[in-house]
Structure 1
Amino acid sequence: MSGPKTSQLEIERMIRAQLEALRSDVDHGRARARRRITALLNELLDEAEGCAEADEAAASLRQLAAAALAQLTAECAFMPAAAMAESTARAERCTTLAAAIADAFEREARPLAERIRRARTQATAASDARDFAALLAEAAKESATTAAVKAARSFMADEHCKIADDSDASIAHDQAQEVSRRALALIASPCTLPADRVLLLETTRELGPEAAAQLALLLPTMESNAAAMADLVALIEDAEADLGAQGIPFAAAPGTFATLEEAAGRLEALRAFQLQADRNTYLKACIDAVMAHHGYTIARSVTMGRDLMGTHRLFGRADATEGLHAFVSDAGDLMLQVAGLPEGIEAVADGEIMAMEPAPAGTRTERLLADQHDFCAVYDEIADDLAAFGITNAVRYKAAPGAVFCREMRTVADVEAETATAIATNQTGQRKRRHSGNAAREMS
């Protein structure tokens, strides 16, 4: 008996663990590359800020970073294969390429960095020159050289006493300046926790020695939190990009996260989607390999109605008008059934929208019934082959061959065109009948 068969597929625990480990390696490798790119970008943009002479180089740098990040997303996406050795090789290629993209960005950014720093140095030198000219102009107003000399001596004496008496205050001032610099960097960072940012803003409004001393104790923890948040954000951005590229829906996240725990929860939810997608990709790769082993060498991914959400694959031979339809749900349910392919498998485009229609009665139905009987023995072999890939196949439902299961897969465009033609033909026939009836009444 071999009508449609439904089974529950389950990947062995060891293979699941290996897939999760490979996913983790790739995600962290890409996140490291993303952090390197964004860290250098932000550092150079900070140097360029407020310097009009560096605007052009800064714009080029932004374009270079955007291209590198896009390349990271497009070319370093991990997709499992049927063979674990190939999956491992793919993961290694992803992480190696991610590091190479970051290296290339840093190399290509060097000339732009030099232009930005040169523009900043020139702008600073020009500003210093203007300040020095203003000082000279002010000094020229002094009419008496002796008065200037006395003022200079008095100034130097005062400064000497201040240095001698207030060395501790000078050191405290230097420390406050360093605390202020670190606090400013944290306030400007998009990864600083909101609660930390509020505290920084409140404390630095009047940054006296006492406030600086308090901040000096808090800054290491705040900086550690910001670094951890930056790591989480990089992983989240890569996970969202992966899922978006695969067309997997997920709920949008808020613009910022209030706590590390909130960000970690978001990453965990996305990672669950990723791991499920990896498992489905592995299942698809294994099913493709098994089908190819049984002579179904051509495969197409197709889309069905909303009631059949999951992975749909059509398998066929080059010159046959019959094949197999495999459906894997997101929960791991597998359905296999014989399907007619009137135009042949090669006429189906990858990603095409398909509809399942009853096969015409007669020779066509007889042919599909014969294929259903042949599929009975093949199905047991398919289950054994899947087991060799570490996939258990618990059969839930077996249907006997029957005419009711003789179905054909056709493109939605063809079905709609035929439906429109039938409707038009029917309407034309109705108009002719009405016209004939009117003519008969007039004659009578």
Structure 2
Amino acid sequence: MSERVGSVSRTRYEQLVAEARELVAQVAKTQFALGDKAVEIEPIRPVGGSVAKGTEELFTVEEPLQMFADDIGVALATVTDWRWTASRWPAGRRKDGVPFTVHKILASIPDEAERWAAIEDAPFNPRANKKQWTTDGAKRLVGQQVDRPVTVEEKVRAVRDLTRDDEVAVKVTASLLSRPETAAALPAADRVRVVKELTRDDEVATHVTSELLQRPRVARQAMRNDDTRFTVNRAQFDNSEETREKIRDRIPAVRRIEHTLEYLDLVGSCHQYVATLGRLVPRMRDQEFTNDERETIRGGIAKVRGAADWLEAAVDTGHFTLDEQLAQLSSRANEPWPPSRSTGRPDDLHREPVGLGCGYDIRRPTAPTLDAVPHGHQQLGTTQEHTVGGNIGIMRGPPVRHHLDFSGRLAQAIKVIGMTRIHHAFPVVPRGDHRD
């Protein structure tokens, strides 16, 4: 222990402390005496007393106290503290040797018995190595912010109180986050929360995200999340579409080129569909399908038929958006099978699924059925031959202009386009016709 305290020796310091304690005790007695006089001038009224709120008498509480404060030359707040503390500590409960300030802090304890017991049990003072009342000891007991924080909780509370101002909080936060060791000591959940709060602004979030995704390991782990991957892919598509729109506006020829490419793609898709069925259906001649397999295939056919109707309507009307029309057409897959046999028109074609359900058997004697028959197969019945892309299309019955089934419309479309050939189209066999 140092032999000197400030500018005096340790012995002289102890003498000064003893003398100061006597003076503090005298000051405490004086303050209590002044408080008792203020209570006599204006007693403490119980909450909800006889004086109704809003009456003029309510304002007389402050007026005599202000007059008393002015006459003795102190502030009204000082008189108010004396009065309230004296009212909370009757003369028989005041502790000698305990400063008036400690009495004032402990006066906030609501229960009288607890208050009386608290002042008798002074906390331990580590500096003095004995039990002794201090202002911080009293504040810790009642839960107030101490003047000299010691524990982590007290320091955090002090920092929180000092950073209530936003400007101060911004500077303190920037200073703390600039310490790598401090940031590393935070738990992962707390760091994530801090980053979220700091990136609420879209511009800041954009810069931070761009820098984070430039780290291969971070990008790889982030893309394992389905929602993140979908959002990134969607953003890439939107950016590409925005770029294409700008190019289309600047260079009109791009739209014509895109139209040609998409037209060829559409025609090729039709050809690929028909060619695929022409290759697969003949191989299924001796195969048997379960009821579940038939229903699954028929459901797929209904969706294909709906998509083809949507395509036909889009080409005719110029409406190419994927809207409720396609959803309505696609819902045919959920309709009961077989479909309705009549649409209410006089010339309605009564249709029933046959074979694999890839076409319709047209039952009216005058209604035509267009089949594209592979080379080497003999078609039974009266026929009319039509060349479709180099192959033989067999039309049974007289030529009429009824609404054809999907297979017929698709074959007609390919015939008009003249850019493909039907190598093997699936047959639509009417009831009564049988092939070996």
Shared fold per TM-score greater than 0.5: no
More strand by share: 1
Of structures 1 and 2, the larger Rg is shown by 2
Structure that is richer in helix per residue: 1
TM-score (norm 2): 0.23
Whose relative contact order is higher, 1 or 2, with alpha carbons under 8 Å and at least 6 apart? 1
